[in-house]
Amino acid sequence: MNILIAGMGRSGSTVLYNIIRELLLMNEKNVYCALDGKYSHDKEQPFNLVKTHYDIKFKDWSDIIITTKRDIRDVISSFKQYNSSYNKGGAKQWTNAFLNWYNLWEFDSDYEFIYEDFINDEEKIINDLSNLIGIKNFDMSLIKDKIISLKSNNNNNETLMTLKHISNTKGRINSYKEILSSSEINIINNIAKEWLDKHNYNGEI
């Protein structure tokens, strides 16, 4: 089985990657996991897991595509906090970029991991994911402990976690109000109005 984690960055994709990885490893599956650019087909196992944001060559390879979604304003806020390239393009460039990454996968998704839903009820989302990939037996408390440990498990080639994954606002919902200026928020709201309305973010979760 080939499983692809895809979609917009800064929206929980690394956490999602690790949930799927742990579910498979917990069931003693033969698993090969990698980031898109480091993936080697020569190393494939019965279960293969890849994380990408925009490498569409993995679409045809995948048996299951799991996409991620988060309020684009929180996405941009998180990106601004850790990536200096934000300053070169600003809110306009990066809002368009992250929306484009989302749009690449929207109609190929077998399941959408919604960041806010996960924050509000992680056990439900973990159960959804286990059912999706056919894993019936697992230790929920152990999976949750693994998620917590990611925050201190930085620069790890297996988990793909780096120091840049944990923002100053610790992933809080609607924390963009603390980081972005009013002009940046207005730029994002204008560019992404249709997307925000479609995905019910203008009412704020």
Residue at 118: amino acid letter: F
For 32-68, write each residue's pLDDT tens digit. Answer: 999 999 999 999 999 999 999 999 999 999 999 999 9
pLDDT-wise least confident of 19-28, 110-119, 195-204: 195-204
The pLDDT score that the predictor gives to residue 72 is 98
Q: What is the pLDDT of residues 80-132, one digit of tens each?
A: 998 778 988 899 999 999 999 999 999 999 999 999 999 999 999 999 999 99
CATH fold of 2-198: Rossmann fold (3.40.50)
Here the tokens at position 74 are 């929180």
Q: In this structure, which amino acid lies at residue 14?
A: T
Q: How far is CA 163 from the centre of its chain?
A: 16
Whether 103 and 80 have beta carbons less than 8 Å apart is answered as no
- Confidence category of residue 205, pLDDT binned at 50, 70, 90: very low
Asked if pLDDT for residue 137 goes beyond 60, the answer is yes
Q: Which of 20, 55, 22, 18 is nearest to 39 (CA)?
A: 55
Pairing of β 31-35 and β 111-114: unpaired
| Whether the Cβ atoms of residue 72 and residue 27 lie closer than 8 Å to each other | no
pLDDT tens across 144-179, in order?
A: 999 988 877 666 778 887 656 667 777 899 999 999
The pLDDT of residue 155: 62
Q: φ and ψ at 197, to 5 degrees? A: -65, -45
Please list, in sequence order, all residues whose beta carbon lies within 8 angstroms of the beta carbon of residue 135, skipping any fewer than 6 positions away. Answer: 23, 24, 26, 27
